Amino acid sequence: MSVRRFLSPGAVGVPHTAGFGALASDHSAAAPSTVPPAPIVKPMLPAWFVDHGNNAEMRWDSVSSRDYRTPNERFFVRDHTSTPLIDAKTWRLRAFGSGLRDAPDLEHAIEFDYRQLRALPSHEIEAFIECAGNGRRYFGGQQGTPTPGTPWGLGAIGLARWRGVQLSQVLRRAGIRDDAVDIMPQGLDAHYVCDGVDHGHVRRPLPVQKALDDVLLAYEMNGEPLPPDHGFPVRLVVPGWVGVASIKWVGQIEVSDRPLTSPWNTTWYRFTGPDYPGGSPLTTPTVRSAFELAWDARVPVGVVTTLTGRSWSGKAPIRRVDISTDGGRNWQPAHLHGPNRRDGWVRWELPWRPTTPGRHMLLARAIDEDGAEQPDTVPYNDGGYMFWAVVRHPVTVTS
């Protein structure tokens, strides 16, 4: 055989996965088995999502008072092209490159199939994934500096319990060398074509230090096999990094003894613009807050309404959340409750009894344990990435 296949000691079979077919032991390359009729496979209910074509933004009012984790069916979707349907029978993860022992090329890659991956010791993490463009629409709506790209509100984020295999295990079994510098996971979705240029499959490098730390090759999401829209059969979950690093439908990983690049860290997902001379790739999400309330919601005058929401940061747990119900003139501390970790969000609430009918502006401002606090404005960048200023959320108080 031209391809070396990984055989785990004492590997055992895994149960048949409903809806995806039995697992086979052939050596064919991984490939989408069918093309879905729409860019997103799961139901796009208007009560749950804002439809952005091949992307779907979670509506915060649809998860109000629900569990800490985001249900799979309500988790936001960010696709560069469309969701592929991949057969677990033919899926393979191929590791290759100069950072592995004997420096195998792609034709002679180390292969792991779905059964072998699931036979390895499993690991669980609870972490949010957030698109780097979350909040993009507020560059224009609040600061008068609109940017191109999907006009996300604050719903391009979701939190789940992920189960899979630590990437470090797979890399060590594949023979990663001490002088390895970067790894580059690549997805199996269709090639991304922009302005007539074919940029190939979505891929983005990670430094080896991060890859060997806490990155997961996930095959389950909230106790279920990954849904197609969220990376079935296997995806990366990279805690504390922007969502593009968590490559979905991963099919190959290059391991290199030299720095790696792709358009997803040299052209896109960088801070560029007048305030960012030279530019820099995006890595850690910033501190943000969102109300679990519909935009332009209506609330009754003279009646206590409990304002709820969530705040998060990619660097540290949240220390404090302050709420203003009068456009920022006065602030009150919200009550934080539930888990509060770096890779998650914290829930909060504040009772409010409005006394004056009319339009009101709600604001939520968080500060994390590292001292990062949401500002009133943020510097403009060309891609509209990481809007982390306080968002002005309008409501109407009715008499």
Determine the Cα–Cα distance for residues 195 and 187; give it in Å rounded to an integer: 21
Measured distance CA(278)–CA(182) in Å, rounded: 22
Residue-wise pLDDT for 13-70, tens only, equals: 333 333 333 333 333 345 555 667 789 999 999 999 999 999 999 999 999 878 999 9
Cβ-contact 119, 15 below 8 angstroms: no
pTM of the model: 0.91
**Cα–Cα distance for residue pair 333/147, rounded to 1 Å:** 33
The token pair at 278 is 């030279």
Query: Quick one: pLDDT at residue 11?
Result: 35
pLDDT at 284: 95
Q: Which residue has the tokens 């509060």?
A: 340
Beta partners for residue 357, in sequence order: none
Are 373 and 366 spatial neighbours (Cβ–Cβ below 8 Å)? yes
Collapsing DSSP states into helix, strand and coil, what is residue 341? coil
CA distance 245 to 239: 9
Where are the domains positioned within the chain? Answer: 4-268, 288-398
* % residues pLDDT > 70 (the chain): 91
Distance of alpha carbon 134 from alpha carbon 242, whole angstroms: 10
pLDDT band at 365 (very low <50, low <70, confident <90, very high): very high
**Architecture category of domain 288-398 in CATH:** Sandwich (2.60)
Contact 352, 303 (CB under 8 A): no
Structure tokens at 76: 């936001």
What pLDDT, on a 0 to 100 scale, did the predictor assign at position 34? 67
Fold designation for 4-268: Sulfite Oxidase; Chain A, domain 2 (3.90.420)
Checking if the pLDDT of 7 tops 70, the result is no
pLDDT, one tens digit per residue, over 144-193 is 999 999 999 999 999 999 999 999 999 999 999 999 999 999 999 999 99
Structure tokens at 89: 């029978």
Maximum alpha-carbon separation in the chain: 76
Give the chain's end-to-end CA distance (angstroms, integer). Answer: 76
Query: Is the pLDDT assigned to residue 4 strictly greater than 70?
Result: no
- Euclidean distance between CA atoms 180 and 228, whole angstroms: 32
DSSP state of 214: T
Per-residue pLDDT tens digits for 76-131: 999 999 999 999 999 999 999 999 999 999 999 999 999 999 999 999 999 999 99
114 Cβ contact partners less than 8 Å away, ≥ 6 residues apart: 14, 23, 88, 91, 219, 233, 234
Across the chain, mean pLDDT equals 91
**Alpha-carbon dihedral of residues 253, 132, 291, 294, nearest 10 degrees?**
-100
Q: Which residues pair with 398 in a beta bridge?
A: 300
Q: Which two tokens stand for residue 304?
A: 């206590």
- Whole-angstrom Cα distance, residue 365 to residue 334? 10
Q: What share of the chain is helix, strand, coil (3-state, %, to 5)?
A: 10, 35, 55
Encode pLDDT of 299-342 as tens digits. Answer: 999 999 999 999 999 999 999 999 999 999 999 999 999 999 99
Q: What is the CA radius of gyration of the chain?
A: 22
**Identity at 39, one-letter amino acid code:** P
> Residue 25: which region, alpha, beta or left (left: phi > 0; alpha: psi -120 to 50)?
alpha
Nearest C-alpha neighbor of 217 from the set 228, 226, 209, 208: 226
pLDDT of residue 38: 83
* Cα–Cα distance, 151 to 159 (Å, whole number): 21
Which pLDDT band, with edges at 50, 70 and 90, does 277 fall under? confident
Question: What pLDDT is attached to residue 47?
Answer: 96
Of 287, 249, 241, 286, whose CA–CA distance to 265 is shortest? 241
208-222: pLDDT as tens digits? 999 999 999 999 999
Kindly give the pairing relationship between strand 305-312 and strand 288-291. antiparallel
- pLDDT of 65: 76
